[in-house]
Chains A and B, each alone.
Chain A
Amino acid sequence: MPLQSSAGPIPEPAVAADQPAPLSRRSVLRGAAGAGAVGLAAASGITAVTGLTRHDTPASADAAAVAADALGGPVMVYLRDASTGEMEVFAGTGQATLRNPALVRELLRAIK
């Protein structure tokens, strides 16, 4: 269908799973623009962010597009499976799936 996209295979996280996730929106967006990974800040309360790579567009174009989306509208994260660290991130009309157990642990600590 037009305008409909789906997540590709679960990508490797751009931030190594064992490293602490960056926590500021500014650093995430800066990192995204520089590395081709995309930083996303959740708009509603959750400020923890991580880098991720979308599979539906080339990484270099991807960073700018999703960063612009992130600035222009809400970004939402759906923790699909805490046991595997699998998350879906929504921004604009885009979506990315990532697996980052370290970030999940941090998110869960934050909402306790």
Chain B
Amino acid sequence: MSSHREAPEISKDPVADSTDLYAFVSPDQPDTLTLIANYIPLQGPAGGPNFYSFGDDVLYEIHIAVNGSTRPDITYQFRFRTELRNPDTFLYNTGPITALDSPNWNNRQFYTVTRTAYGKSDVIGSGLACPPCNIGPLSTPNYAALASSAVHKIAGGIKVFAGQRAEGFYVDLGAVFDLADLRPFENLHAQYGLNVFTGPAAGVNATAHLNVHSIALQVPLSDVLPRAAHGKESDLGAVLGVWTTASRQRARVWDAVTDSYVSSGPWHQVSRLGNPLFNEVLVGLGSKDLWNALPPSDDKRFAAGVAHPELAALLPALYPGVFPNLAKLVAAGTARADLEAILLTGIPSGIIPGFQNYTGAVQADMLRLNTAIPPSKSPNILGVVGGDLAGYPNGRRVFDDVVTIELRAIAGVTVPLVDKSFTPDAAASAVTDGLTASSVPSGYLNSFPYLGVPYSGFTTPSS
């Protein structure tokens, strides 16, 4: 998945498990930047009575590196606090929840936002209420309006929201984790001689009807852009590097007196996410939790997995005869400078007309957003490879088809960016898991926080 359960240790700690990160110039407020970090993967909407919430003992952060930096120049920190009104009922709510301060809501969560910029920290919001999870028509009637009331406007023209949302990332997990099956092409799969697929099939969105928890922030671009020139697409200062992290204190003990965990010690990073699928696909199983614990500026040590991605070698092997040019490229041991640029340094000027998101030579996995490129009036879910310079890998919008984009890139469609003599296989520009943004049943919102209304437990069977 994008980053859901992508590493052995973090897969056991869902409240600290980052799943997706989005960064884009807000289409309806183009003088602002929207940042969304998702956590707590694969939520079955009916998962009561202890419905999902952020970790009170987790430090959630969204980092921004500016002006060619790969270090956190600006960080937004989020800390949560749960309040249980009545410990003697087993119920999450004792009646309909029609407002964030409803006395019927037993298990509420609040949060504080701290902005740290260039070494100076300020609390910019506190006591901010999360919405409840979407339970059903009796418990959370008119859920969309209730959740909207949890969009808080705080000082400085900033909007913030933290709470449950519909999963906006679409992927055919069931197929891709079944030995890289892509249903639209599964008849071309080698199938290990089992011959179970006789023809192509439509993709299945495994994350449809599942929810996540989002931390969403909309800030004036002027709050995050550097003093350096940033108004033109070609300006280094126009490019922001973004990533999210979750940290836990290093020591945790079950307190048998209070029947709860207690934590102590320094914060230790346990989850990280920049580009979708980076840790998931390009880092070996034995290094994934280490990768999660490191800053992006240390990613040079993982660059070999980008230059020689395992999946690029698997595609020709699993789909015999479909990727002959990719097979030759892999056999020649050619380092994938195209992928290194896209994922680790950004794409320099002069390669794609009217576009760059370069942050310098330091290899670091960050979402890189060129803020001088305005939002697209006609977005293409394939982003830059689809001719839409406002989409991934120029930041990432909620509806971008990052699975197909990265599949095609790994299959070789972006090699000509660095080697014009290479001809991608015809399949490279067609390969997909067969899904689009319309595969997300809840759809998306046209305004902040952009991710759709979460699925309710009443209307959605448990997964």
Residues of A in contact with B (beta carbons under 8 Å apart): 1-6, 43-44, 73-76, 78, 88, 90-95
Q: Does B295 contact A (CB under 8 A)?
A: yes
Instruction: Considering the complex, give the chain A residue whose CB is closest to the CB of B294.
Output: A1
Count B interface residues, CB 8 Å.
23
In the complex, which of the residues A1, A43, A94 contacts B265, with contact meaning CB atoms closer than 8 Å?
A94
Is B72 in contact with A2, judged by CB distance below 8 angstroms? Answer: yes
Q: What 0/1 readout, one digit per residue, does chain B (268-281) give for beta carbons within 8 Å of chain A?
A: 11000000000000
Is B116 in contact with A74, judged by CB distance below 8 angstroms? Answer: no
Is B269 in contact with A92, judged by CB distance below 8 angstroms? Answer: no
- 16 extra interface residue pairs, beta carbon distance < 8 Å, beyond A74-B262, A93-B266: A1-B269, A2-B61, A2-B72, A2-B75, A3-B267, A4-B269, A44-B262, A74-B253, A74-B263, A75-B264, A76-B251, A90-B264, A90-B266, A92-B265, A93-B249, A95-B266
A7 to chain B, nearest CB (A): 9
A61 to chain B, nearest CB (A): 17
A2 to chain B, nearest CB (A): 6
Residues of B with C-beta under 8 A to A44: 253, 255-256, 262
Q: Does B245 contact A (CB under 8 A)?
A: yes
Residues of B in contact with A (beta carbons under 8 Å apart): 59, 61, 72, 75, 77, 116, 245, 247, 249-251, 253, 255-256, 262-269, 295
18 contacts between A and B (CB under 8 A): A1-B72, A1-B247, A1-B269, A2-B61, A3-B77, A3-B267, A4-B267, A4-B269, A6-B266, A44-B255, A74-B253, A74-B255, A76-B265, A78-B251, A88-B250, A90-B266, A91-B265, A93-B267
- Compute how far the CA of A90 lies from the CA of B264 in the bound complex, rounded to whole angstroms: 6
Residues of A with C-beta under 8 A to B250: 88, 90, 95
Is A93 in contact with B295, judged by CB distance below 8 angstroms? Answer: no
Is B264 in contact with A74, judged by CB distance below 8 angstroms? Answer: yes
B155 to chain A, nearest CB (A): 21
- Compute how far the CA of A95 lies from the CA of B263 in the bound complex, rounded to whole angstroms: 12
Residues of B with C-beta under 8 A to A74: 253, 255, 262-264
In the complex, which of the residues A4, A5, A90 contacts B251, with contact meaning CB atoms closer than 8 Å?
A90
Is A73 in contact with B251, judged by CB distance below 8 angstroms? Answer: no
In the complex, which of the residues B59, B253, B263 contacts A3, with contact meaning CB atoms closer than 8 Å?
B59
Residues of A with C-beta under 8 A to B256: 44
In the complex, which of the residues B72, B245, B266 contacts A94, with contact meaning CB atoms closer than 8 Å?
B266
- Compute how far the CA of A73 lies from the CA of B267 in the bound complex, rounded to whole angstroms: 15
Residues of A with C-beta under 8 A to B77: 2-3
A50 to chain B, nearest CB (A): 17
Is A90 in contact with B249, judged by CB distance below 8 angstroms? Answer: yes
Residues of B with C-beta under 8 A to A2: 61, 72, 75, 77, 116
Residues of A with C-beta under 8 A to B295: 1
Given A1-B72, A2-B75, A44-B253; A91-B247 close (CB under 8 Å): no
- Compute how far the CA of A38 lies from the CA of B88 in the bound complex, rounded to whole angstroms: 41
Residues of B with C-beta under 8 A to A90: 249-251, 264-266
A19 to chain B, nearest CB (A): 26
Residues of A with C-beta under 8 A to B249: 90, 93
